[in-house]
Amino acid sequence: MEFSDNKAIYLQIIEYVHENILAGKWHADERVPSVRDLAVELQVNPNTVMRAYDQLQAGEILYNKRGIGLHVSADAMTLITAKNREIFLNRELPAFFRKMDLLQISPEEIMRLHKLRSED
Amino acid sequence: MEFSDNKAIYLQIIEYVHENILAGKWHADERVPSVRDLAVELQVNPNTVMRAYDQLQAGEILYNKRGIGLHVSADAMTLITAKNREIFLNRELPAFFRKMDLLQISPEEIMRLHKLRSED
Amino acid sequence: MEFSDNKAIYLQIIEYVHENILAGKWHADERVPSVRDLAVELQVNPNTVMRAYDQLQAGEILYNKRGIGLHVSADAMTLITAKNREIFLNRELPAFFRKMDLLQISPEEIMRLHKLRSED
Amino acid sequence: MEFSDNKAIYLQIIEYVHENILAGKWHADERVPSVRDLAVELQVNPNTVMRAYDQLQAGEILYNKRGIGLHVSADAMTLITAKNREIFLNRELPAFFRKMDLLQISPEEIMRLHKLRSED
DNA sequence: GTGGTCTAGACCACC
DNA sequence: GTGGTCTAGACCACA
């Protein structure tokens, strides 16, 4: 996996976990890779993975079985989609619409580009 | 003017200049506020303004008349809009579409929300 | 390293980096000295080194691995030589020819002097 | 006349005077334009013209007839060409040859480009 | 007055 | 440890 430079790596790892759960690769109550393993896999400092896992626990996406490891919460998928949708609809979408206005790009143009992309 | 915390001040100053030019407040070949004046106005260190002006010169949005001051380039407006559109279409739009897919939000839904907003 | 007085130090640092890359002392994807280290080595304020590194990143000569350090781009060497040639051919050479005309120095004379030099 | 940004204007005015003399537009012992007139013509601050004229007097290119104005020295042309040649041969040419080596541009290539230019 | 460069020193998020 | 941002204050050449 490659990381973008303009975003903290631990945040990109959080998104990576989100996507794995949403995509159904990591199931509810399944054990997630250990900090060490994921650090090796992503070629990243273990502290960085730790930080991402910490935050995921705080957000109740992951939970800890003592001595065994971190696991995917039962409602992880629901939580992630709910939070993502909330941010998308209330924060990103308005900004997106404002930018469309500013650049004088019509909704029809957006639709056209979206269709184009789907055909690829 | 107020600055957001999660973005470098000098970047916000660049946007401030962009907006003034796009809004037609600062015309082509017109002198922009001196480093010191803008620093006082924005309550910021002159070096910070300088840094913004530096980049604006590098991007050919501003040009220097020696000993007189910085001025708005003839094609500043064109450059700014072109760059904005380019970033929007090549960087933000693909990310936006990806997110739509992930959250399973259909283009029709987007259109509906856009229409709703317009009616406010 | 010594700095000339009639040229900004940060520009001389940029050239210093260019030379190290062209000379093969700093290889592609290799980490360059940290801002602080180079500042100590060159006996210069870290901000001054930062300014040079900034521009080198903007020109894609260096890239950043977050928290680890700046590294030489894969195509740094190509970029540097291409830019150098471009400046030489489009800016310096025309000025050189103009001066030859002005001083009425013939191309043959230039050739003679070049040959002389090679024999030293 | 247009002035380049990356060189002090007063230096560009000096060159302007040099060229006028070399081109035979301003003859020996002829009166040169007054500071005020030249300032108007070049659209420049009179102080800036003054500075150029000062330096030209110091270099004995111009001399002052009290109450009348500045005049071109009898040996202005000789002085200018001698000085220009000296700088060109001892300073610029070696730098030029060094750069040719560095960029691996052969003398033959230079000759070819010079010929090309003459044909324009 | 103008832009431009440099230093010294502080603070930050991130790895 | 890394880069990055900001401030305060000094100094310079140029117009």
Per-residue pLDDT, C16: 97
Please state the rounded mean pLDDT for residues A64-69: 89
> pLDDT digits over C81-101, tens only?
999 999 999 888 998 998 888
| Chain A residue numbers touching C67 (CB-CB < 8 A) | 9, 45
In single-letter form, the type of residue at position D96 comes to F
Task: Indicate the domain borders of chain B.
Answer: 9-76, 77-119
Extract the tokens encoding A18: 């989100």
**Confidence band (pLDDT; 50, 70, 90) for B54?**
very high
Please tell me the total number of residues recorded for chain C in this structure: 120
- The pLDDT tens digits of the residues spanning B2-47 come to 899 889 999 999 999 999 999 999 999 999 999 999 999 999 999 9
Helices (H), chain A: 9-22, 35-42, 46-58, 76-87, 93-103, 107-118
Tell me if residue B57 falls in helix, strand or coil: helix
pTM: 0.89
| pLDDT reported for residue B98 | 87
Nearest residue to E14, CA vs C1'?
Answer: C67
pLDDT recorded at residue C120:
67
Question: Predicted confidence band at A3 (pLDDT cuts at 50, 70, 90)?
Answer: confident
- Overall average pLDDT of the A75-88 stretch: 92
The residues on B that touch D, with CB distances below 8 Å, are 63-64, 66-67
Cβ contacts from C onto D, under 8 A:
45
Query: How many CA atoms lie within 13 Å of D31's alpha carbon, on the beta-carbon side?
Result: 9
- Cα–Cα distance for residue pair A49/A67, rounded to 1 Å: 18
Taking the C1' atom of E2, which residue's CA lies nearest?
Answer: B67
Smallest Cα distance from C66 to chain A, Å: 7
Interstrand relation of D69-72 and C62-65 (parallel, antiparallel or unpaired)? unpaired
pLDDT value at residue B42: 96
Q: Is the CB of B41 under 7 A from strand E?
A: no
Residues C39 and C16: their CA atoms lie apart, in Å, by 13
Chain A interface residues (partner B, CB cutoff 8 A):
19, 22, 81, 84-85, 88-89, 92-94, 96-97, 99, 102-103, 105, 107, 110-111, 113-114, 117
Q: Which fold has domain A9-76?
A: Arc Repressor Mutant, subunit A (1.10.10)
pLDDT in tens, C26-69: 999 999 999 999 999 999 999 999 999 999 999 999 999 999 99
**Which of residues 6-65 of B have CB within 7 Å of strand F?**
8-11, 44-48, 51
Q: For the residues B68-72, what does the mean pLDDT come to?
A: 96
pLDDT digits (tens, 9 = 90+) for D11-63: 999 999 999 998 899 999 999 999 999 999 999 999 999 999 999 999 999 99
Residue with nearest Cα to nucleotide E7 C1': C45
B44 touches strand E (CB under 7 A): no
Angle at B35 between CA B29 and CA B41, to 5 degrees: 105
